[in-house]
């Protein structure tokens, strides 16, 4: 019961419910104790804040074993909490009853964030009707950079709020092979910042291997060339960008919903005054099953296609984080997933006046480009 021991109660609940389903389908099992399953299920629901369900499973446990003293005490305890503090203990999950019924637009509305993530990982949601006439595709060049003029980027707008762009066929087979080759020796279990300790540590919500690609280790110049291509089409300077990050997910690998921009004050007050304005996520592989990139708040879903990249702005023109950009990498079910992340940071103090008013930034090359890109791709604040 790894998920249970690691306090991953949502998954623990899913496993327990699957056990119940199998017991129901296959009849009695000599190895699985039904009371034990209800006991774990009840505790998981309790930890998830669903007291009505927790009480329900404990009652089922009592049906199986009416003398179970702890179960008797727990039912009384849950009932007392539901009676005295319903606003605290009856949440959306409880009100909706058991999940698993067919999804509708309405039921999606009332899902928790995490359930939206899970649902989108299972399959796409229909796009809002008003998108029909708005999703477009076009070739993009900036009329200036020779490599772009010769080979414009094929852009497809796949979502509007927030704007999500797909850059089709942006990497060649040779480039992708080279990136994977460079990644081989540097891939390590990915880490994330632990909010309590402030340290980078492996985390259950991010299961993958990753590594930073330095152009120093690439005498053939592939990394530099890709970095420059990003600079050319976004206009965002490489000088404040992070190194390219290769990510590799095996079966079950995933990255739960998060923001790419810094949400804490420290991101703005560490003297650097910068934040991750945009994300480019290159896909170096197709994924046989699973592995989509999803945006649970807005219901967007991107299926990885080898050679394509997804691009979105993390910050609004005001420099504030765009809260609609919360996104996740879904669990890979069959196959492996390779990606390269290019996170672009921009010093906000010099960027903001330029994004608001084009005329004020004529001297700064990268800023002018960023502004043009914003305009030409009709970046809109939401
Ligand atoms: O793998 C994905 O689809 C998303 C990865 C991601 O969001 C990240 O690494 O920040
Ligand atoms: Fe991300």
Of the listed ligands, the closest to the CA of 206 is 1
Picking from 293, 273, 270, 287, the residue whose alpha carbon sits closest to that of residue 341 is 293
Cβ of residue 327 lying under 6 Å from some atom of ligand 1 = yes
Whether residue 216 has pLDDT greater than 80: yes
Nearest CA to ligand 1 atom 4: 329
DSSP 219-240: TT-HHHHHHHHHHHHH---STT
What is the tens place of the pLDDT at every residue in 17-27? Answer: 888 888 887 77
What is the tens place of the pLDDT at every residue in 101-158? Answer: 567 887 888 888 899 999 999 999 988 777 766 677 888 877 778 888 898 888 888 8
ipTM given for this complex: 0.99
Whether residue 298 has pLDDT greater than 90: yes
Which residues, by Cβ under 5 Å, contact ligand 2, an ion? 260
Cβ of residue 210 lying under 6 Å from some atom of ligand 1 = no
Quick one: 8 exposed, middle or buried, by C-beta within 10 A (0-12, 13-18, 19+)?
A: middle
Over the chain, what is the mean pLDDT? 81
H-run or E-run covering 322 = none
Cβ of residue 341 lying under 6 Å from some atom of ligand 1 = yes
Query: What domains, with CATH codes, occur in the chain?
Result: 2-96 (1.25.40.10), 131-376 (2.60.120.620)
- For ligand 1, mutation pick of 189, 260, 281, 325 (most atoms within 8 Å of CB): 281
Query: Which of 56-70, 129-143, 343-357 has maximum average pLDDT?
Result: 56-70
The pLDDT, as a whole number, for residue 381 is 44
The pLDDT, as a whole number, for residue 262 is 81
Q: What is d(CA 148, CA 233) in angstroms, rounded to the nearest whole number?
A: 8
Instruction: Please tell me the chain's helix, strand, coil percentages from 3-state DSSP, rounded to the nearest 5.
Output: 40, 20, 35
The pLDDT, as a whole number, for residue 375 is 46
Cβ of residue 260 lying under 6 Å from some atom of ligand 1 = yes
Percent of the chain at pLDDT exceeding 70: 78
Averaged over 259-279, what is the pLDDT? 67
Res. 73 pLDDT band, cuts 50 70 90:
very high
Query: Which of 23-27, 201-205, 225-229, 284-288 has maximum average pLDDT?
Result: 284-288
The residues pairing with 56 across neighbouring beta strands, listed in sequence order, are none
- 3-class SS of residue 353: helix
Q: What is d(CA 44, CA 35) in angstroms, rounded to the nearest whole number?
A: 14
Q: Which atom of ligand 1 is nearest to the CA of 258?
A: 7
What is the tens place of the pLDDT at every residue in 321-332? Answer: 889 999 999 999
The pLDDT, as a whole number, for residue 8 is 79
The pLDDT, as a whole number, for residue 379 is 41
- The per-residue b/e assignment along 242-269, b for 16 or more CB within 10 angstroms, e otherwise, is ebbbbbbbeeebbbbbeebbbeeeebee
What is the tens place of the pLDDT at every residue in 157-194? Answer: 888 888 898 999 999 999 999 999 999 999 999 887 77
């Amino acid at each position: 019961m790894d998920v249970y021991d690691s306090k991953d109660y949502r998954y623990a609940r899913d496993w327990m419910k699957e056990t119940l389903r199998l017991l129901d389908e296959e009849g009695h099992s000599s190895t699985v104790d039904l009371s034990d399953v209800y006991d774990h299920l009840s505790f998981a629901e309790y930890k998830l804040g669903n007291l009505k369900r927790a009480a329900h499973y404990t009652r089922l446990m009592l049906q199986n074993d009416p003398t179970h003293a702890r179960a008797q005490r727990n039912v009384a305890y849950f009932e007392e909490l539901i009676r005295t503090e319903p606003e605290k203990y009856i949440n959306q999950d409880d009100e909706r009853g058991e999940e698993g019924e067919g999804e509708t637009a309405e039921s999606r509305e009332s899902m928790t964030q995490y359930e939206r993530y899970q649902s989108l990982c299972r399959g796409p949601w229909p796009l809002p009707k008003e998108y029909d006439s708005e999703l477009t595709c076009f070739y993009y060049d900036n009329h200036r950079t020779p490599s772009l003029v010769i080979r414009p980027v094929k852009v497809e707008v796949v979502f509007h709020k927030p704007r999500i762009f797909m850059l089709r066929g942006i990497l060649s087979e040779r480039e992708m092979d080279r990136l994977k080759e460079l990644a081989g020796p540097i891939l390590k279990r990915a880490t994330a910042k632990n909010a309590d300790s402030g340290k980078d540590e492996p985390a259950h919500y991010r299961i993958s291997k990753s590594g930073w690609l330095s152009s120093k280790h690439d005498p053939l110049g592939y990394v530099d060339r890709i970095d420059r291509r990003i600079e050319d089409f976004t206009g965002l300077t490489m000088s404040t960008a992070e190194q390219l990050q290769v990510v590799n997910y095996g079966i079950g690998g995933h990255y739960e919903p998060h923001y790419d921009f810094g949400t804490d004050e420290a991101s703005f007050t560490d003297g650097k005054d910068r934040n991750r304005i945009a994300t480019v996520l290159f896909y170096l592989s197709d994924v046989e099953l699973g592995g989509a990139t999803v945006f649970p708040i807005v219901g967007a879903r991107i299926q990885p296609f080898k050679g394509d990249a997804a691009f979105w702005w993390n910050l609004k023109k005001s420099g504030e984080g765009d809260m609609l950009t919360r996104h996740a990498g879904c669990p890979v079910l069959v196959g492996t997933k390779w990606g390269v992340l290019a996170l672009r940071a921009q010093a906000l103090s010099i960027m903001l006046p330029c994004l608001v008013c084009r005329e004020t930034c004529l001297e700064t090359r990268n800023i002018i480009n960023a502004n043009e890109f914003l305009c030409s791709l009709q970046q809109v604040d939401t």
